[in-house]
Structure 1
Amino acid sequence: MRTLVLSVLVASFLSLAGCNTVKGVGQDLQKAGSAIEGAAKP
């Protein structure tokens, strides 16, 4: 259980460090949503 919690914390830290800010996370999610939406349209 301890390893799982540590793994989740490390993954969260790395994802936030990659974006630098919460705003960056929002922008990344928006781009991912746009890509999925574009792929879903005929």
Structure 2
Amino acid sequence: MTNSKTKAFTAIILSAFAMLAAACNTVEGVGQDLESAGDAAERTTDEIAN
């Protein structure tokens, strides 16, 4: 990767992390968000399998 691409990628990752941190202001909130994402992924794979 070039230096400018690396900087852009880093900026995107940091921005995403900041938005995630702002959305989940407690450890419990993070756990709930992760559980919700896992449930959604499981439903999607079940739909694809059937």
Q: Which TM-score band applies after superposition, normalised by the shorter structure?
A: 0.5 to 0.7
Larger Rg: 2
Alignment match, 1:13: 18
TM-score (norm 2): 0.56
Can you give the 5+ residue segments of structure 2 that lack an aligned partner in the other structure?
A: 1-5
- Tell me the percent identity: 43
Q: With CA pairs under 8 Å and 6+ residues apart, which has the higher RCO, 1 or 2?
A: 1
What is the Cα-based RMSD across aligned positions, in Å? 1.9
Unaligned residue ranges in structure 1 (runs of 5+): none
4+ residue runs over 6 A deviation:
none
TM-score normalized by the length of structure 1? 0.63
